[in-house]
Structure 1
Amino acid sequence: MKRTLAALLAAALTYPAAAEPVRFAVFGDIQEETAEGHAKDLALADRINAAQPDFTVFVGDIQGGGPCTDRQREEAAEVFARISGPLVFVPGDNAWTDCRLPGKGDFDPLERLAKLRDDLVPEGRSLGQAPMSLIQQEGEYRENARWNRGEVVFVTLHMPGGNNGVYPDRYAFEEYERRNAANLVWLAAAYDEVRRSGAKGLVVMFHGNPGWEDIYWRASAYRDFKDMLANEGEALGVPILAIHGDTHRFTVDKPLAFKDGKTRADHLIRLEVFGSPERGFVLVTADSGNPELYSFTPVEVEGHPAR
């Protein structure tokens, strides 16, 4: 029997159309501290613009292992301002937590972090030539941000490399305790937003490699985060994509095991982006029509010699 036009329209309204796929670019660890390197980073921004992502996220480290300088932060700001769409900045370790180490300068790390926030973390919005609004965590860590796009919740966490910024002195540990507590609260809020909005997925972005392969979870400064991803994350019931830099190897896998070291956490996908000495970015597509939800297109712009 033929269905009437009214019946077809009623059926169509019963099943809402899937959201448009979201395409975003991710890059990090730009560490070639030369005039030539800065020019190449600006060219990398142009290549990202040519891909026309909905937004771009930088997952940390605007400098390498040399001395901490204001110029490096200013040059990074130039690169981010070159991005034609929104650009969200996530801090790494080299430009603030490391800045009191030998060879990096005798800086107060929190003074360095304050400058990063002043220049690269505007209140309530992203960087880039077409900024987008962000929900930022209240209090000390406004670089922890969240936004919704399509049917996915996106969240950033201030979780740098160098064992989450922890060094064997009380100064660093006290700051870590505050930041770790804030990160866990912010990740829990992202879980709540997934439930509230009925999102099909969650993307969590940060800098530090948390030691996914450490089946005994000895990387203590990341332990609480990994435990929350493994347990509450599984209960969330949607695919979680964790994106980070830090160790400079393009990787897509499912590396997280539960605490027994044997059972794989299949709900968690990890993307590690390019980093120095490679220069590139990864285009990620989140498409609810894709059974895997996420797909990845690596774009290696250049491989260059290590310094």
Structure 2
Amino acid sequence: MSRAFAVACIVVTMQTAYAEATSMSFAIASDVVNKPADEATLQQMLDAIGRDRNTSFIVYDGNLKSEAEPCRDTLYNTRQQIFDSSRKPVVLLPGGNDWASCNISQAGSYDPVERLDFIRQLFFGDSNSLGQTPISVIRESDVARFRPFRENVRWQANGIAFIGLNAPAPNNHYSTAGGRNGEFEDRSVANAFWLEHAVETARRADMRAVVVILQGDPDFARYERRDRFAWLRFSRGDTSRDGFLELKRSLVKAAESFRGPMIVIHNSGTPIAKGFRIDQPLHNDKGAVVANLTRIAIGLKNPQSQWLEVESDLNWRPPFRVRVRDVTIRPNTQVQGLASQASAPAASSVPGVENGAPGPSSFFQQMQPVQQHPAPASASDGAASNSAPQMPPLLNSNPPPALPPILSTPSNATTPASGASNPATGQ
């Protein structure tokens, strides 16, 4: 009897450990700082996320400054110290305001390439993330050919491969001035290599999913058929030239190679009714939707007090959930706790069949929106808001045809809905 009991305890312990190992949550924030006074806001947001026990790490998806703020060394130094004070690891990705727009007069008329080199040395100096408890990451600079590109990064967590790319708004820093578009061309080649390399590594390591994060909006709706010699031409003087063309081609190739769920997260640049949009807008050369690639466009209404939470559990079917989280700040500017806002699109706001494209696949679980009241915070965290805002109206009054679910925006309950399967894994 005692032996059987011991065996049962071992089995339960192993099952519990496996369940814990496959569950993970991470945070995405961006555009928090627009002026020096907002540095306290950034600190408060990082502190608030740091108190969330379920969050493993933070991805700051670009724009640690506004476009008009001077690109001085002291500004970057101060904000680097704030990120390094975070309780949670912070993976920083460069945004357009951080270097690409430094040439405008309000920002000090700096050379963007020189500023990019500076932040590479300051923020990406070693093989660790930022924060008090950094995580180890692999940088593209480890490859001799791409030594300058320290900001391109990859890491793995709980069976998921994460890839961070320097692809900023607007238009991936494609320049229309005369001469060789050297920075854009070299970075385009580096990004394509890093994406292919990271996805192949994930495939060989049997990763269950790939998450690609960048700051700029690639404008996936803009579809251009492949030109055999497009990679040789970085046309100058063409204001309509798609600076994300090469990246979109690389994403199609990567999705076809990996075959499993592939998620692309980027900043939309403008607010979105429910804080984010999820769809499958990328097409291959034949015009067909890339079925295993899902896009999350982030457009928080209040980026200074909101962040996006992505939960993943490989035991769930489907394995991802997404929601907007609110940082509740009292008038005395002290962070008092975290409130959750259910902000998923309802069934009528999920992208329908457009241009003959099929509906999204089941990489995310979709639930009906509910009005959620945050649970009371602990004494150490302060008091959370007593009410959550009402859900915004549906995007479309006439719902599209029924589609497989792709999204989950859970309430306080942690049990995923059942019945959905992941077509990419067959489970």
Fold shared by both chains (TM-score > 0.5): yes
Q: Name which of 98, 107, 128 aligns with 2:101.
A: 98
**2:58 alignment counterpart:** 56
**1:23 alignment counterpart:** 25
Q: % of aligned pairs identical?
A: 24
| 1:47 to 2:48 alignment | yes
CA RMSD of aligned residues (A): 2.9
**2:350 alignment counterpart:** none
**2:357 alignment counterpart:** none
Structure 1 residue 223 displacement after superposition = 1.1
| 1:86 to 2:108 alignment | no
Which ranges of structure 2 fall in alignment gaps of 5 or more residues? 142-146, 226-239, 330-427
Alpha carbons 1:28, 1:275 under 8 Å: kept:
no
| 1:236 to 2:258 alignment | yes
Structure 1 residue 277 displacement after superposition = 4.9
**1:180 alignment counterpart:** 188
Task: Summarize the Cα distance change of 1:111–1:282 in structure 2 as closer, same or farther, 3 Å threshold.
Answer: same
Alpha carbons 1:25, 1:284 under 8 Å: kept:
yes
Alpha carbons 1:87, 1:126 under 8 Å: kept:
yes
**2:334 alignment counterpart:** none
Alpha carbons 1:284, 1:297 under 8 Å: kept:
yes
Higher helix share: 1
Alignment of 1:253-292 (within 5 A): 253-259=278-284, 263-274=288-299, 277-279=302-304, 280-292=306-318
Task: Summarize the Cα distance change of 1:114–1:136 in structure 2 as closer, same or farther, 3 Å threshold.
Answer: same
Distance 1:112 1:144 in 2: 16
Distance 2:199 2:51 in 1: 33
| Larger of the two Rg values belongs to structure | 2
| 1:117 to 2:120 alignment | yes
Could you tell me which amino acid in structure 2 is paired with residue 64 of structure 1?
A: S
Structure 1 residue 272 displacement after superposition = 2.8
Task: Summarize the Cα distance change of 1:237–1:84 in structure 2 as closer, same or farther, 3 Å threshold.
Answer: same
Distance 1:159 1:227 in 2: 14
Alpha carbons 1:124, 1:135 under 8 Å: kept:
yes
Task: Summarize the Cα distance change of 1:237–1:32 in structure 2 as closer, same or farther, 3 Å threshold.
Answer: same
Distance 1:269 1:80 in 2: 29
Q: Name which of 71, 76, 79 aligns with 1:76.
A: 79
| 1:193 to 2:201 alignment | yes
Distance 2:41 2:63 in 1: 16
Structure 1 residue 61 displacement after superposition = 0.8
Q: Name which of 56, 65, 68 aligns with 1:66.
A: 68
Alpha carbons 1:208, 1:246 under 8 Å: kept:
yes
Distance 1:119 1:235 in 2: 34
Task: Summarize the Cα distance change of 1:17–1:38 in structure 2 as closer, same or farther, 3 Å threshold.
Answer: closer
Could you tell me which amino acid in structure 1 is paired with residue 85 of structure 2?
A: R
**2:34 alignment counterpart:** 32
Task: Summarize the Cα distance change of 1:255–1:219 in structure 2 as closer, same or farther, 3 Å threshold.
Answer: farther
Which ranges of structure 1 fall in alignment gaps of 5 or more residues? none
TM-score by length of 2: 0.63
Structure 1 residue 246 displacement after superposition = 5.3
Distance 2:79 2:203 in 1: 36
Structure 1 residue 221 displacement after superposition = 1.4
Alignment of 1:105-184 (within 5 A): 105-138=108-141, 139-170=147-178, 173-184=181-192
Structure 1 residue 261 displacement after superposition = 8.7
Alpha carbons 1:29, 1:248 under 8 Å: kept:
no
Alpha carbons 1:27, 1:273 under 8 Å: kept:
no
Distance 1:170 1:54 in 2: 45
Structure 1 residue 273 displacement after superposition = 3.1
Structure 1 residue 102 displacement after superposition = 3.8
Structure 1 residue 143 displacement after superposition = 1.0
Distance 2:321 2:310 in 1: 6
Instruction: Tell me the matched-pair count.
Output: 295
Higher relative contact order (CA 8 A, sep 6+): 1
Structure 1 residue 172 displacement after superposition = 7.5
